[in-house]
Amino acid sequence: MSERCISNECLSNTGFSYTLSLINGKYKMTILYTLMEFGVVRFNEMKKYIGSISYKTLSATLKELEADQLVDRKEYPQIPPKVEYRLTERGKSLIPILDGMCEWGDNHRIM
């Protein structure tokens, strides 16, 4: 087997790059982690839990995750409006990665 040469490769053609394109963003991983930990979460609950995110940013980020089929949005026809978010099966497939990040953080946290 020959050694790979970086001059013959392109990062954008890797699975790493594709995965990063889906989860890259200031709050995407935080939202995915929140849904992993709590399952079904309403918009205002998530806003309160995350804290530092604006309503506009949370809404836009959830729309991006929904478009990428990582998050499912369920709207109930009632007043006041009720909207719930949960991971899709595709989103749930990221759980081992999120768990690994949590474990790494627990093992390497500097106190």
Element (H, E) at 71: strand 71-76
* pLDDT for res 1: 62
pTM of the entire predicted model: 0.87
| Residue type at 88 in one-letter notation | T
**Tens of pLDDT along the chain (111 residues)?**
678 888 888 888 888 899 989 999 999 999 999 999 999 999 999 999 999 999 999 999 999 999 999 999 999 999 888 999 999 999 999 999 999 999 999 999 887
Chain-centroid distance of CA 67 in Å reads: 12
User: Residue type at 19?
Assistant: T
